[in-house]
Homo-oligomer: A and B are copies of this chain.
Amino acid sequence: MSIRIGIYGYGNLGRGVESAIRQNPDLELCAVFTRRAPETLKIKTEGVPVYHVDKAPELVNDIDVMILCGGSATDLPVQTPALVKYFNVVDSFDTHARIPEHFANVDESAKESGKVGIISCGWDPGMFSLNRLYASAILPQGKDYTFWGKGVSQGHSDAIRRIEGVLDAKQYTIPVDSALEAVRSGTNPELSTREKHIRECFVVAEEGADKARIENEIKTMPNYFADYDTTVHFITLEELKRDHGGIPHGGFVIRSGKTGFDSENSHIIEYSLKLDSNPEFTASVIVAYARAAYRLNKEGASGCKTVFDIAPAYLSMSTPEELRAKLL
Contact = CB atoms under 8 A, between A and B. Distances in A.
Nearest to A259: B280
How many copies make up the complex?
A: 2
A311 interface: yes
A46 interface: no
B99 A324 contact: yes
A306 B328 contact: yes
Contacts of A267: 273-277, 280-281, 284
A327 B131 CA distance: 9
Contacts of A321: 100
A202 B24 CA distance: 48
A130 B285 CA distance: 15
Interface string A121-136: 0000101011111101
Contact of A138 (B272, B284, B323): B284
Interface stretch (A15-23, A82-90, A156-164): A15-23
B311 A309 contact: yes
A268 B277 contact: no
Nearest to A127: B134
Interface residues of A, number: 69
A11 to B, nearest CB: 15
A288 interface: yes
Interface string A255-269: 000011100111111
A308 B321 CA distance: 11
Given A306-B328, A325-B100, A312 B139 contact: no
A269 B273 contact: yes
A308 B324 contact: yes
Contact of A276 (B99, B265, B307, B324): B265
Interface string A112-155: 00000000100001010111111011111100000000000000
A269 B283 CA distance: 15
Contact of A133 (B265, B281, B316): B316
A240 B271 CA distance: 33
A104 B324 CA distance: 11
B266 A276 contact: yes
Interface of A: 16, 19-20, 22-24, 44, 96, 99-100, 103, 120, 125, 127, 129-134, 136-141, 184, 259-261, 264-277, 280-281, 283-285, 288, 291, 306-313, 315-317, 320-321, 323-325, 327-328
5 contacts: A120-B328, A127-B134, A260-B280, A308-B324, A309-B313
